[in-house]
Amino acid sequence: MKLFELVYVIEDDFITSKITELYLQQHGAFKRVQKYKNGQPALDALHRASDQPAKLPDLILLDLNMPVMDGWEFLDALSAEHWPKPVPVCVLTSSINPDDIKRATSYTAVQGYFIKPMDAHLVDEMVQLLE
Amino acid sequence: MSYLEQELRALQASDETVFDFIQESTLAGLWYWNLTGDQEKWATAKFWRSLDYEPDAQFNQAAAWKAAISPEEETATAEYIATSIADHTYSFDQVVQATCHDGSTMWLHCWGLVLRNNLGQPHRLLGVLVDITRQRNEEISAQEVAGHYGAILGNQSVYIIRTDARGNYTYVNDFFYERFGLDSKIIGTSSLMSIIEEDRAKCLVTVGLCFEEPNVPHQVILRKPYHDNAVKSNHWEFKGIVGSNGEVVEIQCVGYDVTLLVDNLERSKQLLALTNQQNARLQNFAYIISHNIRSHSANLTALVKFLQNATDEAQATMFLEMLKTSTDKLAETIINLNEIVTVNNMGLQPKEMRGLRQEVSRTLEAMNVLIHESQLTVTLNIPEEVTVQVVPAYLDSILLNLLSNAIKYRSASASPQLTLDSYREGDYTVLSVADNGRGIDMARNHNKIFGMYKTFHDNEDARGLGLFIVKNQIEAMNGKIEVASEVGVGTTFKVYFSEIV
């Protein structure tokens, strides 16, 4: 089984973020979870880690609707830069809008689009997808 | 005199059948009158037969004459005779209406010749009569038909026009004249130029089709100014008419007013566009609702599961706390949605006239404490007399939202300023609300400012609803809202109140 040393959870809702963290921690594949309130602090963290590929996350779970820097802006910023190793992104959102699904999956960084609620089954699916 | 004519004259004198033959075969009869005597009148047997009398029967010729020729006709004949004598022509021709024995009418063309005696004095009249009843009746019938069609062409509520091959009017029916306030002066002028400029190319294309494919109708809708300057849409059928030279010599055009139809079509299109827009909004709204409810319900489901599997008391208490927060948020979301549904439902509330300065002052007064606490300096430049047509509750909400935003996002460094102006722009009265606050990054957010659940600052109590509701409210009043902003410089909202009643 592939191991994820570090996962970023970018989510503005505190409770959702906590729940996501708990589910990830219950799964054996994930080691460290780093939570960010929106795209901006997450992007700042990526920049700080960009000198050492080992410090970059193995996966980013990204919400779409957030204040300050939303999921779209984060994806734009991520795609615009070159990173020492590929950073896979899974969108985790409540939006079932087909336009959002189409738009999100058009980014090369986006590996999967998952609709909440988050649960153990969804985490399994995600791991299988990224295997 | 020709040889034949000489012989015929001699024959006529010696053989009476020759005269009879000519009279019987070519004439309706002869008159021969004595002009000097007491109006002694003689008519041939052929004349009486023509008038349906039996010449051999004993009938009163004087009475029959009176019955056949009206006094007016007699007077007219006398006048013709007198004129022909006076101008020395001694001949005339006249159309006489005669009444036959059976009461039917007969039309006679009468050629008269005044004969003179040895002294040159007029003393006889020879009248030669030809039956023209048939021609006359045909003429009358043709006139009736022409009159009839003329009336149809004139009184139709359709336009009937003919132009020559170059498009100049050659015929226009009365209805067309009346409707467009024109008269026969337009005959010979260009029909193309009477159409509004934008439609001329379309007209020329149709005329081109008439030349390419003559004798079949080609249809087009053209706009033309009415006499009161209103522009009317007319549906036309153009047909190229081929002349004897095999080329199109005329365009026949039949048209009728379709302004109402075109207007209704346009209105339907607008309605359809509006419906599509509303549908899109509704669908978007459904996605938003689904998203917002789902976010919370997803949390609730997860938290209940965690609570069931909690291993110790402390964990259980934490999940219960989170569960409570989630249910509160769900309740708040539902209240917010109610608020939005209400705005969208109240689309057509009655508008009232309000003094803009008075309304702004009232809102400022209501926010007095907040303004004071934030040390906001307000400059009110709205003239006393400016009024706006508004749904009062919407105006309250708009002002409250914009003014409270100006306070909430005031500058941390500079002393906060707020300037309210108003001016007229086209059909709108504009209220401008300008602050020197934190500003919004327009390059990043111009599409999101008036969206639902969009917040731009890391502000915990921002709901992301205020400007969404403001936009809905101003649009419900047929107005619009615009924003200009720069980070660290300030934000200016322009609210356009529609003044079209």
In DSSP terms, B122 is beta-bridged to B116
- Residue range B158-210, pLDDT digits in tens: 899 999 999 999 999 888 888 888 888 999 999 998 899 999 999 999 999 99
Alpha-carbon distance A120 to nearest alpha carbon in chain B (angstroms): 10
User: Which pLDDT score is estimated for B151?
Assistant: 80
Q: Which residues of B touch A18 (CB under 8 A)?
A: 322
User: Which pLDDT score is estimated for B38?
Assistant: 63
- Site from B284, B326, B458 to mutate, A interface, most A CB atoms within 10 angstroms: B458
User: Which pLDDT score is estimated for B31?
Assistant: 86
Poorest-pLDDT segment among B35-49, B84-98, B247-261, B421-435: B35-49
Contact, B110 vs B127, CB < 8 A?
Answer: yes
The answer to whether B315 contacts chain A (CB < 8 Å) is no
Provide the angle, in degrees to the nearest 10, between the axes of the packed helices A14-26 and B313-345.
Answer: 140
Q: Which residues of A touch B294 (CB under 8 A)?
A: 94, 96, 115-117
- Residue range A13-57, pLDDT digits in tens: 899 999 999 999 999 889 999 999 999 999 999 999 988 888 899
Test B295 with A13 for CB contact under 8 angstroms. yes
Instruction: Classify residue B184 by its DSSP letter.
Output: G
- Site from A64, A94, A97, A115 to mutate, B interface, most B CB atoms within 10 angstroms: A94
User: Which pLDDT score is estimated for B53?
Assistant: 87
Q: Which residues of A touch B448 (CB under 8 A)?
A: 70
Q: Which of A79, A85, A77 is nearest to A39 (CA)?
A: A77
Vertex A13, ends B399 and A10: CA angle to 5°?
115
User: Which pLDDT score is estimated for B341?
Assistant: 75
Q: Which of B232, B188, B237 is nearest to B210 (CA)?
A: B237
User: Which pLDDT score is estimated for B452?
Assistant: 66
Test B299 with A37 for CB contact under 8 angstroms. no
Contact, A90 vs A62, CB < 8 A?
Answer: yes
Q: Which residues of B touch A102 (CB under 8 A)?
A: none
Q: Which of B452, B435, B447 is nearest to B487 (CA)?
A: B435
Torsion angle in degrees (nearest 10) through CA of B139, B143, B144, B148? 150
Q: Which of A87, A82, A90 is nearest to A111 (CA)?
A: A90
Test A68 with B456 for CB contact under 8 angstroms. yes
The answer to whether B302 contacts chain A (CB < 8 Å) is yes
Provide the angle, in degrees to the nearest 10, between the axes of the packed helices B392-408 and B356-366.
Answer: 50
Cβ-based neighbour number of residue B110 at 10 Å: 21
Test A15 with B326 for CB contact under 8 angstroms. yes
Q: Which of B366, B399, B398, B360 is nearest to B381 (CA)?
A: B360
Across B386-402, average pLDDT: 90
Test B298 with A68 for CB contact under 8 angstroms. no
Test B299 with A13 for CB contact under 8 angstroms. yes
Across B83-109, average pLDDT: 90
Whether B153 has a pLDDT exceeding 80, the answer reads: no
User: Which pLDDT score is estimated for B441?
Assistant: 85
B156: Cα separation from own chain's centroid:
17
Alpha-carbon distance A13 to nearest alpha carbon in chain B (angstroms): 9
- Among the partner-chain residues B291, B297, B299, the one whose CB lies closest to the CB of A15 is B299
Relative to beta strand A30-36, strand A4-10 is parallel
Whether B373 has a pLDDT exceeding 90, the answer reads: no
| Cα torsion B299, B304, B310, B312: sign | positive
Q: Which of A96, A128, A123, A103 is nearest to A7 (CA)?
A: A123
Test B298 with A94 for CB contact under 8 angstroms. yes
Relative to beta strand B169-172, strand B352-355 is unpaired
Category of A123 on φ-ψ map: left (φ > 0), alpha (ψ -120 to 50) or beta:
alpha
The CA distance from B499 to B477, in Å, is 10
Test B295 with A16 for CB contact under 8 angstroms. yes
User: Which pLDDT score is estimated for A126?
Assistant: 92
The answer to whether B306 contacts chain A (CB < 8 Å) is yes
Q: Which of A62, A37, A54, A57 is nearest to A46 (CA)?
A: A57
The CA distance from B444 to B436, in Å, is 19
Nearest chain B Cα to A41, which residue? B458
| Cα torsion B287, B293, B296, B301: sign | negative
Backbone angles phi, psi at B117, to 5 degrees: -85, -175
User: Which pLDDT score is estimated for B433?
Assistant: 95
The answer to whether B324 contacts chain A (CB < 8 Å) is no
- Residue range B433-488, pLDDT digits in tens: 999 998 888 887 777 777 766 666 655 556 667 888 888 888 888 899 999 999 98
Test A16 with B456 for CB contact under 8 angstroms. no
User: Which pLDDT score is estimated for B259?
Assistant: 87
Instruction: Classify residue A117 by its DSSP letter.
Output: P
Whether B492 has a pLDDT exceeding 90, the answer reads: yes
- Among the partner-chain residues A15, A96, A117, the one whose CB lies closest to the CB of B325 is A15
The CA distance from A78 to A83, in Å, is 9
Nearest chain A Cα to B440, which residue? A68
- Residue range B266-310, pLDDT digits in tens: 899 988 988 887 788 778 778 878 888 888 888 898 899 999 988
CA-derived radius of gyration, chain B: 49
- Residue range A59-107, pLDDT digits in tens: 999 999 888 888 999 999 999 998 988 899 999 998 888 999 999 999 9
User: Which pLDDT score is estimated for B222?
Assistant: 94
Over chain A, what is the mean pLDDT? 91
- Site from B287, B288, B330, B467 to mutate, A interface, most A CB atoms within 10 angstroms: B287
User: Which pLDDT score is estimated for B7?
Assistant: 84
ipTM at complex level: 0.83
Tokens 């007491």 belong to residue:
B38
CA distances from B206 to B168, B176, B235, B253, B258 (A): 15, 20, 12, 11, 18
Vertex A119, ends A115 and A122: CA angle to 5°?
60
Alpha-carbon distance A15 to nearest alpha carbon in chain B (angstroms): 7
- Among the partner-chain residues A23, A94, A119, the one whose CB lies closest to the CB of B295 is A94
User: Which pLDDT score is estimated for B461?
Assistant: 57
The answer to whether B268 contacts chain A (CB < 8 Å) is no
Q: Which residues of A touch B326 (CB under 8 A)?
A: 15
